[in-house]
Amino acid sequence: MRRRPLALTVLATAALAVSACAPQESSTGSAASGSAGGGSCTPEDLPTVTADTLTVATDTPAYEPWFVDDDPTSGEGYESAVAYAVAEQLGYDRDQVEWTSVQFNAAITPGDKDFDFDVNQFTINAERQQAVDFSSPYYTATQAVITTAGSPAAEATSLADLRGLRLGAQVATTSLDVLTDVIAPDTDPQVFNTNDDAKLALQNGQVDAIVVDLPTAFYITSAELDDGVVVGQVEDSGDAGDQFGLLLAKDSPLTDCVSQAVDALDADGTLAALQQQWLSEAADAPVLK
C-alpha cells in the first residue's frame, strides 16, 4: 500500500504501491506485461466475465465530478476517464468496454461478481479486503464537511465547532468513519443510504451538515445545493487520506493486471493529468482541526 502525507491536498499523484511494470505493445494496443502468476495481461488471455470485453461497474446515479451527466460511457469525469485509461492500458479498445450498474453496498459484499472491476470511490481498507480485492490506488482524497448558508455549521472553523451539531453521512463509507471517529459528534450521526438522501436531509433541515469526500463536496455545494457551503476538509482523514482503488472479486485473476495498469498510468503522469482536468477545484478548502 502506498503511503504519502496527502491529507491536505487532493491533487498530488499518489505513490506506487508496487513497482510499475513497463507496458508492452499487444496486438490490440498497449497492455501491461503480465500478471504475478506469469499470465499475459492482454484481452485474448485475461479471463474476463465476457470474452474480449472489459465489464466495468459503477453505481446509479453516477455523480460528478467522477462522471458527467450520469453517463459513465462518455469518458468524461475523473473515474470514467480512469476506467477507459485502464482499459486502454490493458489493450481494450473503447468499444470493448461494457458498463453495468451495481449498488455501492452490493459491490463490497463477498461473493461472485458480474463485472471485471468496479469504480465508485471505494476506499481501500483492511475490512473490505477480507471480502474483495482492490487495485493499486488511483486517487487519494480527504473528507469534507458541507452545509448550507445560514446553517449552524456554516461558521464552523474547527472540529470542536461541529461536535454539538446534527451531522450525517452515507452508510458503509469512509465519510461515516471519519464523522464517527474523527469529528466524534456529541450525538449519534444520522446514516443515509446514499449521498442524495444525505443531501436531501440537509436541504430539509434534518441535519446541520454532512460529510462527503472533498471533490464531491465541491460539486454538491456548487451545482446541487442552493447556497451550498464547504465548511472545510478534515485534516485527519486517515493514513495518507482516503485511497480509492478499483474493486474486484476476491482473489480475482485480474487483480495483478489491473494494478499494473493503474501503476503505469500513475508513473507516466496520466492520473495526475486527469486529476488536474477533473478535480482541480478541490484544492482550496480550509482545514478543520
123 and 194 part of one domain: no
Reported as a single tens digit per residue, the pLDDT across 105-164 is: 999 999 999 999 999 999 999 999 999 999 999 998 889 999 999 999 999 999 999 999
Higher-confidence position of 37 and 79: 79
112 and 147 part of one domain: no
Q: Does residue 7 belong to any structural domain of this protein? A: no
Helix (H, G, I), strand (E, B) or coil at 236: coil
What size, in residues, is the chain? 289
DSSP symbol at 72 = G
What is the rounded CA–CA span in Å between residue 247 and residue 114?
A: 12
Q: Does residue 6 belong to any structural domain of this protein? A: no
What is the rounded CA–CA span in Å between residue 42 and residue 44?
A: 5
Q: Does residue 205 belong to any structural domain of this protein? A: yes
135 and 248 part of one domain: yes
135 and 151 part of one domain: no
202 and 68 part of one domain: no
For the chain, what percent of residues have pLDDT higher than 90?
A: 75
Which structural domain range is residue 188 located in? Answer: 143-234
What is the total count of domains within the chain? 2
Q: Residue 5 in contact with residue 277, Cβ under 8 Å? A: no
Reported as a single tens digit per residue, the pLDDT across 189-247 is: 999 999 999 999 999 999 999 999 999 999 899 889 989 999 999 987 654 468 999 99
**Can you give the CATH number for the domain in which 163 is found?**
3.40.190.10
What is the rounded CA–CA span in Å between residue 133 and residue 136?
A: 10
Overall pTM surpassing 0.75 (yes/no): no
What is the rounded CA–CA span in Å between residue 213 and residue 222?
A: 14
Stretch among 211-220, 257-266, 274-283 having the lowest mean pLDDT: 274-283
